[in-house]
Every structure is written in C-alpha cells, then in structure tokens.
Amino acid sequence: MTVIENLGNVLIISIIVIVLTLIILVIIERKFYLKLIRNIYSRNNFYMKKIANLNKIGSKNILVSIDQIARNFFIEAFGTKNTEDYSKLENFFKQKNQVEPARFCELMNHALYSGKEINQEDRERLILILIEIVKNNLIATKD
C-alpha cells in the first residue's frame, strides 16, 4: 500500500510542477509577444510621425521628403533597394499584387520626372496613399 501511496504523491507533485511550468511559460510568452507588437507598431509609428511632420516643410522640399520617407519605408517593410527608381518599384509591387504601393510609385514617378511642378492636390494624394501604405504594412522586426 505504501508504494501506491508514494506513487500517487509523486504523480500529484509531478502534475503540480508541470502546471506551474506551463503557467510560467505562458506568462513569459505573453511578455515577449507584447514586446514584439510594441516594436512593430513603434517602427510604423516612427514613419507616421515623419509623414505628419511633412506639413512643416516648405512646398518645394516636400516632394524630396516624401521620396526619402517612402524609400526608407519600402526598404524596411518590403526589402527593396534604395537605388531602384520608381518604375522598377512599381513593377516590383505589381508582381506582388500590392496595389497601393504600385499606385504610389506610379504617382511619384510622374511627380519626380514629368518636369511639371506638383500641385497641392497631388501632394496631398501622395501623402494619403503613403499613410495607407504605412498603416497596412507592418514592419517585421528582428525580435
């Protein structure tokens, strides 16, 4: 009878240890998950703040700033190269069925290389599309 009682006690202690270990692992996993989510959103928030600061820039420099923000975001979010022009980026996004980034690249290509001065409506359209792209494409972090 004592062997069976000892076996029962060992089984109960083993179950308690396993349950406590699982609880600790769930808590640790939750903390890492929350940290990962915070890092993802913080990187996208960084770009959203840069876009929000575009209103403070003069109208002549705003296209250059939009270009820099977009290229940096595309590098981080999609793994593109900084040296690619917008026509290559547009083809890249069309192959990946990314409609908004492809449309943005088409508009940027026209704005940068058409030789015409970009008007306020086109600038606002570019900014709104860029905002949507940043919102819809979370940057994967190394975590």
5-15 pLDDT, tens per residue? 777 788 889 99
Phi, psi of 71 (to 5 degrees): -60, -45
Answer yes or no: is 110 within a domain: yes
141 within a domain of the structure (yes/no): no
Task: Let me know if residue 24 belongs to a domain.
Answer: yes
Domain tally for the chain?
Answer: 1
Q: pLDDT tens digit string along 36-54? A: 766 656 778 889 999 998 8
The mean pLDDT value for 14-37 works out to 88
Reported pTM: 0.70
Residue 42 counted as domain residue: yes
Q: Write the pLDDT tens digit of every residue in 120-135.
A: 898 899 999 999 999 9
Rounded Cα–Cα distance for residues 53 and 47 (Å): 10
Number of Cβ within 10 Å of residue 47's Cβ equals 22
Residues in the chain: 143
Domain of residue 122, residue span = 2-136
